[in-house]
Each structure stands twice: as structure tokens, then as C-alpha cells.
Amino acid sequence: MSDYLVRAASRPVVSGIMRALRVPTPVSLRRANSPFAPDSLSHRRILVGSLDSARLDRKIANVLQSGDADVTKAADVTDDQTAVFDGVVFDATGIADVAGLTALYDLFNPVARRIASCGRIVILTDTPASMDSAAASAAAQAIEGFVRSLGKEVGKFGTTVNAVYVEPGADSRVAEPLRFLLSDYSAFIDGQALTVSADGRAPRSVPTSATLAGKTAVITGAAHGIGATTAKRLAAEGADVLAVDVPANRDALDAVTDEIGGAALALDITGAQAPAELADFCATRYGGIDVFVHNAGVTRDRSLANMSANEWHQVLAVNLQAAVAIDAEFDTRKLLRDHARVVCMSSVGGIAGSRGQTNYAATKAGLNGFVRARADAQRNRGVCYNAVAPGVIETSMTAAMPLAVREVGRRLSSLGQGGRPEDVAEAVTFLSTPGAGGLSGNVVRVCGQSLLGA
Ligand code: NAD
């Protein structure tokens, strides 16, 4: 399934007619469609600005240089309106007070109309909680409001705006999140504020290509939709993938593993013995696991007053209880290796709430709480737990939505369209890599800055 307006707008004649009729035409987003590569920013024109107090200049320069970007410093910007930028990085670390925010206005005001289509804007700053004065905390928090609002202004051009909050001591872990957010891999991540933490053990090496070579990855719900796409993406990074889905989907599951060369396990993850069966399989075949993606999910939508106990229990069992039980089994049997990455598939519905989805939203909010709790518990081993919260993604799950609800979900986002399974797969894959070691306990929305959950 795909978004018909994006399809239509990609045809020049049709898009011309749409513009003449003033029908909003969503931009066809530029996506990477290839495994992570060190030169992912090749020839991108990136403007770099900073506060005088900022301290990340060398880290930012390294990312841009190694990515082969074409860098312009803020001091060198001219009035030439034809000089456009593919991205902007602003280093607001060390921000001390509200006056410091003026630098944001000074940099962005003159160039706001000079960001190319599908541009990337990333602002780095300190976490408000780490600041030593209320004024500094206020200024650091203000960045989030700025980012979310600018995202709504430039989203119609396919441009995304995100913030990276850097905890004290985490400077060395900023490079890969910055590289990812500046690249085409993050096309549908917009208006987000990620937190990079210094907690726990950092991996010794952080490859920028074949990032999962030699790693084993398990993904549930891998026969269709987001799960199938993510299994393929993890394999493209070099992971040996175990794809899990219900026995009824065995053929579709086999088709996925035939393509990527991994293993398939037909298993209903809600079965009483499922955690043990899965753990036995992994222990025998791999010895240990480096990546676990809890993706399987179902909906049974109905207003609470009309919802049957069965509809409540089914959703709770698949979406939340199975992930918690499997994780506990793998923990007890020490099957998650040091520096493992666990990603849970949440939803913007778990943040905003969603009419007719008390069961579903409860499970997705539950997963957000789960990753935060597990992130705290596993930091000393360098194991990271994060959630990815998709908005409207064009899969069979959204195809089953009432048209009006789907249409509202698509258009009420800054990017004005639904995302693709690949967009979610990119986020999950990035969070699974060694370079994402500073991210744990984050809930990353992949929703084109959907109004839901805003
Ligand atoms: P999908 O229905 O295409 O795929 C879900 C997969 O999970 C299916 O292959 C299904 O067989 C499997 N599954 C269900 N119950 C299972 C069980 N008991 N044991 C093993 N496997 C089981 O859905 P999708 O759209 O690809 O969704 C994937 C995940 O993303 C879900 O967790 C969903 O809640 C979440 N999500 C999707 C969207 C969206 O717009 N599509 C938005 C937000 C969140």
C-alpha cells in the first residue's frame, strides 16, 4: 500500500494540476535505499553554526568530513539567496540563558527559505536537567519548542528538524546519532528530541558500514509489513536474522528468510511455553543474541464499552505481555550479550491515546515504560533498550483503518503523508547498531511529526 497523493505528486503533469487547484502536494521524500555507508552525506551542503560556549565543534566537523559533506560556517554565509543548504547543524551546547537563544534566530532567520527540499536540521544542546541554573534549563528546553515548531514550518518541503540532547560526559557518543539524523535514512523522523547518555559501557568499535556484521538478531512479527522490511534491513547490515511469526504465516515467513538467508521460526509468541521455546532455539543455534526487535503487534479496535474481554486480552498478550515475558526469559538465561540492543515497536497511539484503542494504546504506552525501566537496569552491561513509535505507516494494518481516519492521520503531519515500512526499519536498524550506544530509554517517533502524540 502507498500514499496516493505522494504517488500522484511524483508525476510532473499531475502535480502541476494539483498545484493549480491548490491541493496540498506532499513532497516525495528522498530515502537512502542502501545499507549504512560512511559517505552518506556526500556533497550535501551543510551549514554549521554554534554558540560561543559550544564544545562539539570537533565532533561535528568529524562527522561532516568523514561523510564527505560540503561545509559552510555561519560566519561565511552571504546574502546570496541562490546559495541553498541541504542541512543545518547548530551546536547550542553550553547555553547559559535566554539571551543565548538569540543565536538561533540569528542563524535560522536569514536562511529559513534557503533550505533545499528534503533538508535536515539538527540542533544539539545540553539536557535541561544537567544545567546548573534555572535560566540555563529554560534555554535548553526552549530548543525543543523551537525544533518542533520549525519542523511544522518546513515539513511541507520534506525537511525535518530534530534535537539531540547531550547528557554530561556523552559528547563522544553524539557522532552516529548526528550522522543518522542528517542522512536520508531518517526521512520520516521529524520534530523529535533524542537524548544521548553517557551511562553504561560504550562499545570498543563503532563501524560505519556492515554495522551488524557478525551479530545475531531476532525479530518477531517478521512475516509481513514493518517486521518483514526490518528483518531484510537488519540482514543488509550483515546480521544473521531469526524471523519469528505465527504458524499460519509460515509461507510468508519462509519467503522473507529465503530472501535474506536467515532462519525462520513459526511460533505464537503468546503461548505459555513460547519464551522458553524461543530461548532454547536461540541458545542452541546462536549461543547468544545481539539484537532483539519486539515487533509483533495486533489491533482489536472497539470503544471500551463495546470491547469484549477477549479483544482486550488478545492485544495485551501479543503487544506487551509476550515482549515482557520473552525479555525476562532471555535475561534469566543470560542470552542477551553485552552491548545488545533491544527495540520495542510502540506507536504514537501509546503517546497520544487513540479513540477505540484503549487496549492497543495501553500496550504501546506500556512498552515505552518497559524500555525506560530496562534501560536503567541494563546500563552497566552496555545493553540499550529503546522504543520506536511509528505514526501512520502504509501497511496492511493501516489499510484496515477507516478511510477518513487514515486520511486525517496522513495529512495531519508536518510531512503531510504516511510513512513507509522502510522508514521504521531504518530507525530500528540504526538503534540496533554499535553507534547507537548513547541512546537507551528513548522513545523515537517515526511519524513525520504527526499531530497525534505531539
Ligand atoms: P502487520 O499486521 O503487517 O504485521 C504484524 C505481524 O505480527 C504479522 O505478521 C502477524 O502475524 C505478527 N503477529 C501477530 N500476532 C503474533 C503472535 N502471537 N506471535 C507471532 N507473531 C504475531 O502490522 P505492521 O503494520 O507491520 O505492524 C508491526 C508493528 O508496528 C506492530 O507492533 C504495530 O502495532 C506497530 N505499528 C504499526 C503502525 C502502522 O501504521 N502500520 C503504526 C504504529 C505501530
Same domain, 335 and 426: yes
Q: Is 360 a catalytic residue?
A: yes
pLDDT at position 451 over 70:
yes
Catalytic residue among 165, 185, 286, 360: 360
According to the model, what pLDDT value does residue 396 have?
A: 81
Last residue of a domain, one of 140, 164, 196: 196
According to the model, what pLDDT value does residue 405 have?
A: 79
In a domain, 1, yes or no: no
Same domain, 137 and 225: no
In a domain, 206, yes or no: no
Secondary structure, 3-state, 345-402: ECCCHHHHCCCCCHHHHHHHHHHHHHHHHHHHHHHHHCCEEEEEEECCECCHHHHCCC
Could you tell me the distance, in angstroms and rounded to a whole number, from the CA of residue 168 to the centre of ligand 1? 37
Check if 320 has its Cβ closer than 6 Å to any atom of ligand 1.
Answer: no
- Only one residue has cell 511544522, namely 152
According to the model, what pLDDT value does residue 395 have?
A: 85
Q: What is the mean pLDDT of the chain?
A: 94
Contacts of 39 (CB under 8 A, 6+ apart): 66, 67, 68
pLDDT at position 454 over 60:
no
User: Could you give the CA distance from residue 112 to residue 14 in angstroms, rounded to a whole number?
Assistant: 28
In a domain, 333, yes or no: yes
Same domain, 91 and 135: yes
User: Could you give the CA distance from residue 162 to residue 190 in angstroms, rounded to a whole number?
Assistant: 6
Same domain, 433 and 353: yes
Same domain, 436 and 354: yes
Q: What is the pLDDT of residues 133-186, one digit of tens each?
A: 999 999 999 999 999 999 999 999 999 999 999 999 999 999 999 999 999 999
Same domain, 298 and 237: yes
Same domain, 432 and 308: yes
Q: Which amino acid is at 277?
A: E
Check if 269 has its Cβ closer than 6 Å to any atom of ligand 1.
Answer: yes
Taking CA atoms, 67 is separated from 40, 49, 156, 422, in Å, by 6, 18, 26, 22
Share of the chain above pLDDT 90, in %: 86
In a domain, 310, yes or no: yes
Could you tell me the distance, in angstroms and rounded to a whole number, from the CA of residue 274 to the centre of ligand 1? 18
Same domain, 230 and 185: no
According to the model, what pLDDT value does residue 198 have?
A: 95
pLDDT band at 82 (very low <50, low <70, confident <90, very high): confident
pLDDT band at 19 (very low <50, low <70, confident <90, very high): low
Q: What is the pLDDT of residues 324-335, one digit of tens each?
A: 999 999 999 999
In a domain, 419, yes or no: yes
Same domain, 304 and 436: yes
Nearest to 181 by CA among 167, 165, 169, 168: 165
Could you tell me the distance, in angstroms and rounded to a whole number, from the CA of residue 397 to the centre of ligand 1? 7
Q: What is the pLDDT of residues 266-316, one digit of tens each?
A: 999 999 999 999 999 999 999 999 999 999 999 999 999 999 999 999 999
In a domain, 72, yes or no: yes
pLDDT at position 66 over 90:
yes
Classify residue 441 as exposed, middle or buried by CB count within 10 Å of its CB (0-12, 13-18, 19+): buried
Nearest-CA residue for ligand 1 atom 1 is 225
Domain assignment of residue 380, given as a range: 216-446
According to the model, what pLDDT value does residue 15 have?
A: 63
Last residue of a domain, one of 141, 168, 196: 196
pLDDT at position 397 over 80:
no
Q: What is the CATH number of the domain that holds 272?
A: 3.40.50.720
Q: Tell me the mean pLDDT in the region 227-236.
A: 98
pLDDT band at 410 (very low <50, low <70, confident <90, very high): confident
In a domain, 299, yes or no: yes
pLDDT at position 18 over 60:
no
Q: Tell me the mean pLDDT in the region 91-100.
A: 97
Same domain, 311 and 418: yes
Same domain, 122 and 263: no
pLDDT band at 20 (very low <50, low <70, confident <90, very high): low
According to the model, what pLDDT value does residue 453 have?
A: 61
pLDDT band at 400 (very low <50, low <70, confident <90, very high): confident
User: Could you give the CA distance from residue 449 to residue 157 in angstroms, rounded to a whole number?
Assistant: 13
- Give the position, in ligand 1's atom list, of the atom nearest the Cα of 317: 18
Q: What is the dihedral of CA 151, 34, 36, 31, to 10 degrees?
A: 0
According to the model, what pLDDT value does residue 14 have?
A: 61
Check if 396 has its Cβ closer than 6 Å to any atom of ligand 1.
Answer: yes
Total tally of structural domains belonging to the chain: 2
Least confident of 29-33, 205-209, 450-454: 450-454
Check if 227 has its Cβ closer than 6 Å to any atom of ligand 1.
Answer: yes
User: Could you give the CA distance from residue 390 to residue 422 in angstroms, rounded to a whole number?
Assistant: 11
Same domain, 243 and 280: yes
According to the model, what pLDDT value does residue 1 have?
A: 59
- Give the position, in ligand 1's atom list, of the atom nearest the Cα of 364: 34
Could you tell me the distance, in angstroms and rounded to a whole number, from the CA of residue 210 to the centre of ligand 1? 27
- Give the position, in ligand 1's atom list, of the atom nearest the Cα of 225: 26
Could you tell me the distance, in angstroms and rounded to a whole number, from the CA of residue 57 to the centre of ligand 1? 41
Q: Which amino acid is at 319?
A: N
Last residue of a domain, one of 153, 168, 196: 196
In a domain, 343, yes or no: yes
- Give the position, in ligand 1's atom list, of the atom nearest the Cα of 322: 18
pLDDT at position 369 over 60:
yes
Check if 367 has its Cβ closer than 6 Å to any atom of ligand 1.
Answer: no
